[in-house]
Amino acid sequence: MDFLNTFRIALRALARNKMRSSLTMLGIVIGVGAVIAVVSIGQGAQYLVQQGIQSMGTNAVFIAAGSGRPGGARMGFWAVKSLTLEDLAAILREVPLIRQAAPAVISRGQVVYQNQNWNTSILGTAPNYFDIRSWAVQSGTAFTQEEVDYAANVCVLGTTVANMLFPGESPIGKTVRIGNLPFRVVGVLESKGQSVMGDDQDDRIFAPYSTVQKKISGITWIQFINASAVTPEASVAAVRPITALLRERHHIRAGEDDDFFVRTQSEVADLANQTQSVMTLLLGSIASVSLLVGGIGIMNIMLVSVTERTREIGVRMAVGATEGDVQSQFLIEAVTLSMMGGLAGIIAGLAGSALISSLLNWPTMISLKAIIIAAIFSGAVGIFFGYYPARKAAQLDPIEALRYE
Amino acid sequence: MEEQQAQSGEGGAWAVIRLEEVAKTYDLGEVQVHALRGVSLEIGRGEFVAIMGASGSGKSTLMNILGCLDKPTRGRYFLDGVDVSGMSKAELARIRNRKLGFVFQQFNLLSRTSALENVELPTVYAGIAPEERTRRAREALARVGLAEREGHYPSQLSGGQQQRVAIARALVNKPQIVLADEPTGNLDSRTSVEIMDILQRLNEEQGLTVVIVTHEADIAHYAKRAIEFRDGRIRRDRPIEERLIAREVLPTLPAPEGPEAEKPEAGAAPAKDAAPVAPRA
């Protein structure tokens, strides 16, 4: 008996119990739909992260003080005083892969304008920081090198800070107080949104590093360096020479830990991707549990069907159906159920992710791989859960099957 | 199908069915049930045999073995000259498909499946091409006088019509033998005679070998030979004297009622399963 025939018989048997067949399929529909929706949402998130990383500049190299362990105690980020402006100058001088670099010192404080105030972080840096981060000034200007040189009390606001302190008002030219110091606002940056790590990059004030070092933090060292390599590949290649240079400058002996660390944007990207993949995998496997449940539903209904159709099986065997014929009939029925459920699930998943995309304004990336895997998986569910009922049908004794009431 | 190759009971080498000391024992753990205790039997081509006996006599077991649905515990069974007693399940399925036609007491048609498709069923398992299947099924339906009912579902047919569809299904693969297990057991007397008429015609006109199991003596009188079973053995094997010819009996029976009444060859006999049993000839 050929496959097409068996398939036709299976389809007809399923069509006879439309309600039951569709309810049985529902489990698979939900399972496959959930897998596809979850994966496309996950991939959308990954895409967002990638975009965020792109926006930070793929050439970026980040050097931070810290992670050293003077006297055995591991100090945190920025807690070490080892990184200096001289280090920065040395890197620019001796590592040609690095095109530019900006120092950074960070502080926190209450920012006040008239009756508005806001607690935010103050980043002291150089004007080329905005270049390195490819961050444009939306209105006004960035501060200048000159202002850095004489530690002027000027600042550039992130949009969140600007909105908090100057609702419905232009901040340019206005004076805000940070602690007890008055700062003139020279510019407002474009909105950058959330960082890869999820914090609001616009909730920050930027001032000349010299000003922050001397007037706010009272330090002479710097906390990190935002550098930019000549190409994305160069950013990775620059890690070794920078490490070697800084170790030498900081007199770190072989075998001792670094008192700084170097990260490139591509490392961050890899890390973020990895996190996202784990999340997607996790959500996907939760969704696939419902595929499993759907499969059990199919097995259940197929077992009922075999019992109900015992006589039919007896008749088929009497007129010449072999065990194999009966087995493939029921197996194909189960696979047809699960594959049709899979197909409906794919459609439901696509519709679901389109809906999420439009309602939540969240980009969803339809994954062809997820669709193919879902289709194969639903077929496999049919085979796996259809095998036992089909085997049971095939092993019926025709004499007893014919007598079955 | 060979015309008029009818042979008498002593079919010899021509026997289409030959049993040699066939025994069947069911092992029920503590007890062993001897359903058949060494049966030797020959049925020739073109014979019309009625197998009789009370329930428990072994006639159903014999029928299952003849129908290749069951294997004998001992002894040998030659079907059309081939020893089938040692065959595998798949081989037996093939034999059932090609050489045997079954008619059951309960009709056993697939519900919600048209008459035509029910008749086609054995051809599906014979691997016949779809167009040829339909052609053969139509031909078989025409032979039992149901050509116009091919699209009807079993639920839309009377008991007699359902049994005729079942006979058409038994014929569609041009078998050597038709095995009928109490074919009239669920039918009223007139319809029973109509079914016997069809079986007699097939036997006379096409030389088809027919074996029926029945416990009704009057139905056995339509056969040519009666084999009586008791306690798993053949008790009596005799030719039927004063054989009834259904064609001649039918006019003596009360005419079927209802608007659908017409000549049985042409088609419908209305369902009268609940009709009082008229004395049978």
CA angle A170, A207, A164 (to 5 degrees): 40
Cα–Cα distance, A161 to A174 (Å, whole number): 13
Size (chain B), residues: 281
Measured over the CA atoms of residue B128, residue B133, residue B137 and residue B140, the dihedral's sign is negative
Cα–Cα distance, B71 to B60 (Å, whole number): 13
For B90, which of A319, A323, A402 is closest by C-beta distance?
A323
CA angle A92, A93, A94 (to 5 degrees): 100
Q: What is the mean pLDDT of chain B?
A: 86
Average pLDDT over residues B192-201: 94
pLDDT score of A15: 86
- Report the CATH number that the domain containing residue B188 is assigned in CATH: 3.40.50.300
Q: Spell out the domain ranges in chain A.
A: 3-52+271-403, 58-265
If you search the block for the tokens 């019509």, which residue do you land on?
B161
Q: Which residues of B touch A1 (CB under 8 A)?
A: 124-125, 127
**Mutate which of A5, A7, A312, A315 to disrupt the B interface (most B C-beta within 10 Å)?**
A315
Cα–Cα distance, B114 to B267 (Å, whole number): 16
Q: What is the largest CA-CA distance in chain B?
A: 58
pLDDT at B274 over 50: no
Q: What is the DSSP letter of B265?
A: G
Beta pairing, strands B209-213 & B48-52: parallel
Domain count, chain B: 1
> Chains A, B: CB contacts under 8 A, how many?
61
- Inspect the interface and report whether the beta carbons of B125 and A325 lie closer than 8 Å: yes
- Inspect the interface and report whether the beta carbons of A323 and B64 lie closer than 8 Å: no
Q: How far is B99 from chain A (nearest CA, A)?
A: 10
Q: Which residues of B touch A315 (CB under 8 A)?
A: 108-110, 121
pLDDT score of A197: 63
- Inspect the interface and report whether the beta carbons of A1 and B127 lie closer than 8 Å: yes
Dig out the tokens for B102 from the structure.
């079954």
DSSP E strands, B28-173: 32-44, 48-52, 74-79, 82-83, 100-103
Collect all residues with Cβ–Cβ distance below 8 Å to B62 and sequence separation of at least 6: B22, B36, B39, B51, B229
pLDDT at B79 over 70: yes
List the B177-181 sheet strands across, edge first.
Answer: B100-103, B177-181, B209-213, B48-52, B225-230, B233-239
* pLDDT tens readout for residues B3-22: 333 344 444 447 899 999 99
Q: How far is B256 from chain A (nearest CA, A)?
A: 31
- The stretches in chain A having pLDDT less than 70 are 1-2, 55-57, 67-80, 195-198
Residue B134 lies in a domain: yes
Residue B125 lies in a domain: yes
Query: Which amino acid, one-letter code, is at B188?
Result: D
HEC sequence for B112-151: CCCHHHHHHHHHHHCCCCHHHHHHHHHHHHHHCCCHHHCC
Residues 156-195 in B contacting A (C-alpha not used; CB under 8 Å): 169, 173
Average pLDDT over residues B182-207: 93
Distances (CA, A) of A164 to A133, A139, A180, A190, B265: 23, 16, 19, 15, 98
Contact of B154 with chain A, judged by CB distance below 8 Å, is answered with no
Cα–Cα distance, A64 to A263 (Å, whole number): 8
Q: Of A37, A82, A75, nearest to A251 (Cα)?
A: A82
Contact of B104 with chain A, judged by CB distance below 8 Å, is answered with yes
Query: Comparing A94-103, B126-135, B198-207, B272-281, which segment has the lowest mean pLDDT?
Result: B272-281
Is residue A39 within 8 A of residue A285, CB to CB? The reply is no
Q: How many CB atoms lie within 10 A of CB B87?
A: 17
pLDDT score of A290: 82
Q: How far is B84 from chain A (nearest CA, A)?
A: 15
Is residue B15 within 8 A of residue B39, CB to CB? The reply is no
pLDDT score of A313: 94
Q: Which residues of A touch B90 (CB under 8 A)?
A: 322-324
Contact of B278 with chain A, judged by CB distance below 8 Å, is answered with no
- Inspect the interface and report whether the beta carbons of B125 and A321 lie closer than 8 Å: yes
- Inspect the interface and report whether the beta carbons of B93 and A320 lie closer than 8 Å: yes
Single pTM value for the model: 0.70
Cα–Cα distance, A136 to A133 (Å, whole number): 9
Q: Which residues of B touch A20 (CB under 8 A)?
A: none
* pLDDT tens readout for residues B80-119: 989 998 899 999 999 999 999 999 999 999 988 899 999 9
Collect all residues with Cβ–Cβ distance below 8 Å to B195 and sequence separation of at least 6: B160, B163, B164, B167, B183, B184, B187
Angle between helices B159-171 and B115-125 in degrees, nearest 10: 20
Collect all residues with Cβ–Cβ distance below 8 Å to B23 and sequence separation of at least 6: B34, B36, B37, B38, B39, B72, B73, B74, B75, B232
Average pLDDT over residues B37-50: 94
Dig out the tokens for A144 from the structure.
């200048």
pLDDT score of A237: 87
**Mutate which of B59, B62, B64, B69 to disrupt the A interface (most A C-beta within 10 Å)?**
B69
Contact of A313 with chain B, judged by CB distance below 8 Å, is answered with no
Residue A313's closest chain B neighbor by CA? B110
Q: Which residues of B touch A395 (CB under 8 A)?
A: none
CA angle B3, B122, A387 (to 5 degrees): 155
pLDDT score of B262: 44
Domain that holds residue B240: 45-71+87-254
Is residue A178 within 8 A of residue A113, CB to CB? The reply is no
Q: How many CB atoms lie within 10 A of CB B243?
A: 14
Q: Of B228, B108, B219, nearest to B169 (Cα)?
A: B108
Q: Of A202, A204, A227, A207, nearest to A217 (Cα)?
A: A207
Q: How far is A399 from chain B (nearest CA, A)?
A: 7
Contact of B224 with chain A, judged by CB distance below 8 Å, is answered with no
Cα–Cα distance, A272 to A370 (Å, whole number): 20
Residue B165 lies in a domain: yes
Residue A325's closest chain B neighbor by CA? B125
Dig out the tokens for B92 from the structure.
């037996």
- Inspect the interface and report whether the beta carbons of A315 and B108 lie closer than 8 Å: yes
Residue B201 lies in a domain: yes
Measured over the CA atoms of residue B68, residue B71, residue B74 and residue B76, the dihedral's sign is positive
**Mutate which of A1, A3, A4, A319 to disrupt the B interface (most B C-beta within 10 Å)?**
A319
